[in-house]
Amino acid sequence: MYTNISSKLSSITKALHTQYKQYMYALWMTTTNDQSWKSKLNEERKKYNQILLSDTIATLTQSSGTSDMDYSILRQISALKNEGLEVSYDVSCQEDYMELVNNITSKTFTYKTLFKGSELDENEALTLLQNSTDSIQREQLWMNKMKLGDAIEGDLLELVSIRNKLAQSKGFSHFYELKLKSQELEMDDLTNLIQKLKRNLDETYVFIKTQMDNELKDKFDLQKDPMPWHYNQPFFNGTQDKRLTKDKVVESLNVWFSDKGFNIQDIIRQSKFSSNPNPSRENFCLNVDREEDIRLSIHFKQDQESVALLLHELGHALYEFNFSPSVPFILRKASQPFISEAVALFFERLAYKKSWFTSTIGPTTSFAPFIQSKQYFINTLFRLYEAISITAFEYELYANPSQNLNKLWWDIVEETQQLRRPADWNHAYWANNIQLTTLPAHSSHSLFGEVLASQFHVLLLRMFGDSANDESLQFLKENIFRKGNSVYWKRLLFDAFKSDIMPEYLINEINNNIKDES
């Protein structure tokens, strides 16, 4: 019996792997702005989904595993079942789903903010908003920019409806419940994490935000607390340094990673770098074949933030580049999306350690002030609370999409982030969060990822004296990277660190760095 199952897995793996490569290559060509590949992408996606919904996989995933069955076989069957959860048996439903996603992303990336007779793209609007010191001008610009939400609300709600119908057809109450299940996460894990973070960070968040609010009140001569348009996103911005060319940074990183036993040359060779932000392109890492064809798309602006961004995406890439060849294709992916995010954040944070930056990239200058860990962790604190807001909202969006979502959004934002709702609040401001369309439940990955990145740092520091030395990185490679999804994520972490997810490490890092005035 097990021989038959193993044979079926081998056959289906070969078919999936072949189609996956074609699907991912079409995705790469489309997302790097070759729109002629768009129809090809839809065609390859359909073929991949057809395999996932094939009778062979259905038979495998419906059969019950037994305690004496090989663990790798059990993991492969479970992975196939989880991946198929998000695919509808109705082909027309799949097509409607993708048409809505494409419509929303197209409207988002081509949206123009009307301001003083001009049409501004995303980058132009953000730059103007960032630099304006006129409170009235900022309000007008922000309100016009946020009107995108009203333009895509209808499509997004229809997408939510399709996702919920899919989830209910597979035995779930709503899509958010299905999404967590497909990623082997329990709602209790997420709820408990958020409660611990808020219980231990609310006081720090209020303290820092009050400081920021007082600074903004002075800057804009406000009598009341600032409104959403007074804040800049992100809360700090790098200053360009002409010495930080892409070639110099890449070469410096290549030397550093090579010394640590990691090869980034093949990854960089197939990646795309641009100097001018394009609203229709995101920074991302894509594994084209789950082997060694891993590519990055990066906006490089010659500043410290760009170095951090490159380190972040290289973190994703190195995790996947170092899967063991012995791991079956079906399991050759991150054990959890948030573990990949944790690895990416772990490397990203190196860019905000001055000793590392100076020794690896080069000396800093007074012209381009160095952003220290303190400011980085202040920004992390604000990102956490934004992610908590989005997570709470997104759950309710799927659990009860017919409620007053505009009011719900501001109720959550006011309570969690302590941002005041504008007088003209009754619009779909919430729909501006593109991750609600393209990356459902991504905010939960951000929360777990931030927590685990700190956990990696602290535990590796204790074990090897330096979280980024040769021994630490080889430990991550052997105990996290190489295993892929061959081990359930909680077991993976316990086997490596004798520990479950522990937010205390992040809480302490935030509190200690923010209190450190040096």
175-182 and 71-84 are packed helices; what angle lies between their axes, rounded to 10 degrees? 150
Which residues 6+ apart lie within 8 Å of 4 measured at CB?
Answer: none
Region 396-421 average pLDDT? 98
Contact 476, 438 (CB under 8 A): no
How is residue 393 written in tokens? 């909202």
* Segment holding 285, helix H or strand E: strand 284-287
Compute the distance between CA of residue 218 and CA of residue 490 in angstroms, rounded to an integer. Answer: 48
* C-alpha distance from residue 95 to each of 101, 103, 125, 169 (Å): 10, 12, 33, 17
What is the per-residue pLDDT for 398? Answer: 98
Region 494-498 average pLDDT? 97
Contact 295, 37 (CB under 8 A): no
376-413 burial by CB neighbour count: b if 16+ within 10 A, else e? bbbebbbbbbbbbbbbbbbbbbbeebeeebbebbbebb
Compute the distance between CA of residue 286 and CA of residue 317 in angstroms, rounded to an integer. Answer: 8
The string of DSSP codes covering 57-119 is: HHHHHHSPP-TTS-HHHHHHHHHHHHHHTTS-S-HHHHHHHHHHHHHHHHHHHH--EEETTEE
pLDDT digits (tens, 9 = 90+) for 45-97: 999 999 999 998 988 888 655 666 889 999 999 999 999 999 998 888 989 99
Q: What are phi and psi of 66, to 5 degrees?
A: -125, 160
pLDDT digits (tens, 9 = 90+) for 285-331: 999 999 999 999 999 988 999 999 999 999 999 999 999 999 999 99
Compute the distance between CA of residue 43 and CA of residue 38 in angstroms, rounded to an integer. Answer: 9
What is the per-residue pLDDT for 264? Answer: 97
Sort 321 into a burial class: Cβ within 10 Å, 0-12 / 13-18 / 19+: buried
What is the per-residue pLDDT for 66? Answer: 61
Pairing state of beta strands 294-299 and 272-274? Answer: parallel
Question: What is the number of helices (H) and of strands (E) in the chain?
Answer: 22, 5
How sure is the predictor about 1, in pLDDT bands with cuts at 50, 70 and 90? Answer: low
Contact 299, 315 (CB under 8 A): no
Q: Is the dihedral of CA 101, 102, 105, 107 positive or negative?
A: negative
Compute the distance between CA of residue 5 and CA of residue 57 in angstroms, rounded to an integer. Answer: 10
What is the per-residue pLDDT for 517? Answer: 46
**Measured in Å, how far apart are the chain's first and last C-alpha atoms?**
65
* C-alpha distance from residue 88 to each of 49, 126, 415 (Å): 9, 38, 37
On the CB side of 392, how many CA atoms lie within 13 Å of its CA? Answer: 21
What is the per-residue pLDDT for 364? Answer: 75
Sort 428 into a burial class: Cβ within 10 Å, 0-12 / 13-18 / 19+: buried
Higher-confidence position of 67 and 491: 491
What is the per-residue pLDDT for 91? Answer: 85
How is residue 201 written in tokens? 């960070």
Sheet containing 284-287, strands listed edge to edge, beginning at the edge strand earlier in sequence: 272-274, 294-299, 284-287
Q: Which of 87-96, 214-223, 342-351, 454-463 has the lowest mean pLDDT?
A: 87-96
What is the per-residue pLDDT for 518? Answer: 37
* Segment holding 273, helix H or strand E: strand 272-274
* Segment holding 296, helix H or strand E: strand 294-299
pTM: 0.95
pLDDT digits (tens, 9 = 90+) for 252-281: 999 999 999 999 999 999 999 988 665 445
pLDDT digits (tens, 9 = 90+) for 411-441: 999 999 999 999 999 999 999 999 999 999 9
Q: Which residue has the tokens 């079409």?
A: 26
On the CB side of 93, how many CA atoms lie within 13 Å of its CA? Answer: 15
pLDDT digits (tens, 9 = 90+) for 157-181: 999 999 999 999 999 999 999 999 9
